[in-house]
Amino acid sequence: MGTGADIAAIGQEVIVIPRTIAKPRLAAANTDALLELIDKILDDGKAEDIVTIDLRGKSSIADYMVIATGRSQRQVAALSEHLLDALKDKGYGRVPAEGLQHGDWVLIDAGDIVVHVFRPEVRDFYNLEKMWGAALPEAVAAAS
């Protein structure tokens, strides 16, 4: 109707449903800085087997995928929360995350970079590196 909202009629009552506006994606220059920040935070938190997969030209979901392992559910959750806090502190805003409650596999969508933090058994099971054609880290390859 040109008002920026969809209108749904229920009987005689009219309900206005506002449309959500997507946030603009990060610029390429910021993507490199963001990737460095993510790698540093994961490394500082003692994440293991950190792998960065370049998705440019392979997928439109992101430019990079970062995969890391925490030794326990507690470490996976702590690494993820620390990363979310650091992203917010550096001005990237509130970044969506899934799986924090369980701590087996946390997915963080940082725009052009998607981060997966796994427990070792869950990472071995899903084997995202193989799916995306990336080289497996030595420790993960030896366990497979």
Q: What is the pTM of this model?
A: 0.73
Share of the chain above pLDDT 70, in %: 72
Enumerate domains of the chain plus CATH numbers: 23-143 (3.30.460.10)
pLDDT digits (tens, 9 = 90+) for 66-81: 999 999 999 999 999 9
pLDDT at residue 136, rounded to an integer: 52
34 burial (CB, 10 Å; 0-12 / 13-18 / 19+) is buried
Residue 135 CA to residue 53 CA, distance in Å, equals 9
C-alpha 48/C-alpha 2 separation (Å) is 51
